[in-house]
Structure 1
């Protein structure tokens, strides 16, 4: 069962956001990756953002982080429109909004020790060395890694451990919102479960909010208070985690729901047939 959504004022408010990219060619129309997307995230809440490759989910996460051009609409954080923030303003906002990327193997600098990686955002904020060292110990403890991990390099750790280090780095400045971009998709199933449990435990202890981007409806099922489903740059279903992940209403969400494998081969074959039928229905509707 999905957790109960916190009832609180909005922390992040995405309003009718449009993202377009130029296309080569004389008089070519720009490609519209987001077509007027709206959603909100409350303090201490997890909002799952689900869709297949090309749906626009990662683009929305990048727009929130200032990494994708917002050509229409607003992105409000604590009531302020951050969609037009420049580099200096974004740097100041980094203590409030952080990110955990998909691939733990490439998101960490291989030439730095874990202590250097975790200290880096603290040094930028001019945190004294003694306080920074204490904060590193706290962060390692928070993500379930031993203190002696600080002196080692990323190559000394497994994929799951590296993702824990990436999470610790995101937590270094005590952010209020973390954008999680497919943070468990590169991990095996057992490691995925442990990292998801860690995300939930950290949220319970710190009250941080997550915008959790994933292609897998099952991954967000037990983590998200609310879920938005994206298809072709639009949100086609948006509601409570229980409703969207267990009783989906839109054909595209139903198709995602049926993609999860089950052990019964006969029932699995029926689900494949249902998915094919839904794919044809979506194609005919031109959705």
Structure 2
């Protein structure tokens, strides 16, 4: 059997806390998961659960206290900066706010060409690739000459997706990429990500607090609580009939249009037992 594209093993991340002899804050504790080539793993949990910290650790932006991260069989958790920069060709990220992640002083063409020229492409090849990327994410060719502020939120997120795809990555960390968008735009961006995955074979770590969004795009789902993964399985099972009370709460917290059904969901939510300390999912 071949190794997974990405494998996280018993990962701990702790942040220092201000104050004399105060212990570090454990943001992640004994986290293990794997992502296969062309697969989407949805990572869901409330704010502060540790899901964004896990994404940052994979990207080399959070300090790994213990455990390992392997990409294509090679350990990457403690790479020097130069090696991590080279790895950016294969591992990319799309952030929650597309406007703050795009340089407002640069045209879309320059934003998309920058990672290409930094990777050694000629200006001509880079601009040819920019035209391909804009077409792939459904933006007109004249978008290349415009600034990010001239686009809607959904269009800016398409630009961010195009930038992440520029160098043909194998894995993209999607950190709450649709949470700032309206429902109609959310659906369009999610459908675009699915289409791009089908055409390119890229894998996603899709981070979200919304189980309904995760269900739409994911093959498998992992649920985080207080820095641990407490439930993991195929998307249909975890998002429809979850075993853990915490996951059930996440499911019932999503509103529905029918007031009778919404009242029943609220009553079910209130009847659930208090959330206990998380237990580790056996691998």
TM-score where L is the length of structure 2 = 0.96
* Offset of residue 8 of structure 1: 6.7
Number of the residue aligned with 1:249: 243
Number of the residue aligned with 1:281: 274
C-alpha separation in 2, matches of 1:24 and 1:148: 50
* Offset of residue 210 of structure 1: 0.2
Check if 1:163 corresponds to 2:153.
Answer: no
Check if 1:54 corresponds to 2:57.
Answer: no
Change (3 A) 1:8 1:264: farther
Check if 1:220 corresponds to 2:208.
Answer: no
Number of the residue aligned with 2:84: 90
Deviations 1:170-218 (A, max 9, x none): 0000000000000000100000000000000000000000000000000
Number of the residue aligned with 1:265: 259
* Offset of residue 286 of structure 1: 3.8
**Structure 1 gaps, min length 5:** 1-6
C-alpha separation in 2, matches of 1:286 and 1:90: 35
C-alpha separation in 2, matches of 1:187 and 1:239: 27
Correspondence list, 1:144-163, <5 A:
144-163=138-157
Question: Residues 46 and 223 of structure 1 are in contact (CA less than 8 Å); yes or no, is this contact kept in structure 2?
Answer: yes
Deviations 1:113-132 (A, max 9, x none): 00000000011012011111
Change (3 A) 1:229 1:192: same
Specify which of 169, 175, 197 is matched with residue 175 of structure 1. 169
C-alpha separation in 2, matches of 1:77 and 1:44: 14
Number of the residue aligned with 1:28: 22
| Runs (4+) off by over 4 Å | none
Number of the residue aligned with 2:127: 133
Q: Secondary structure at the match of 1:33?
A: strand
Question: Residues 8 and 42 of structure 1 are in contact (CA less than 8 Å); yes or no, is this contact kept in structure 2?
Answer: no
Question: Residues 3 and 73 of structure 2 are in contact (CA less than 8 Å); yes or no, is this contact kept in structure 1?
Answer: no
- Tell me the number of residue pairs that the alignment of Structure 1 and Structure 2 aligns: 278
Check if 1:115 corresponds to 2:109.
Answer: yes
C-alpha separation in 1, matches of 2:42 and 2:154: 21
Number of the residue aligned with 1:3: none
Q: Secondary structure at the match of 2:29?
A: strand
Q: Secondary structure at the match of 2:188?
A: helix
Number of the residue aligned with 1:192: 186
* Offset of residue 148 of structure 1: 0.7
**Structure 2 gaps, min length 5:** 279-283
Question: Residues 221 and 245 of structure 1 are in contact (CA less than 8 Å); yes or no, is this contact kept in structure 2?
Answer: yes
Number of the residue aligned with 1:4: none
TM-score where L is the length of structure 1 = 0.95
Q: Secondary structure at the match of 1:222?
A: helix
* Offset of residue 26 of structure 1: 2.0
C-alpha separation in 2, matches of 1:181 and 1:62: 9
Check if 1:233 corresponds to 2:227.
Answer: yes
Question: Residues 8 and 43 of structure 1 are in contact (CA less than 8 Å); yes or no, is this contact kept in structure 2?
Answer: no
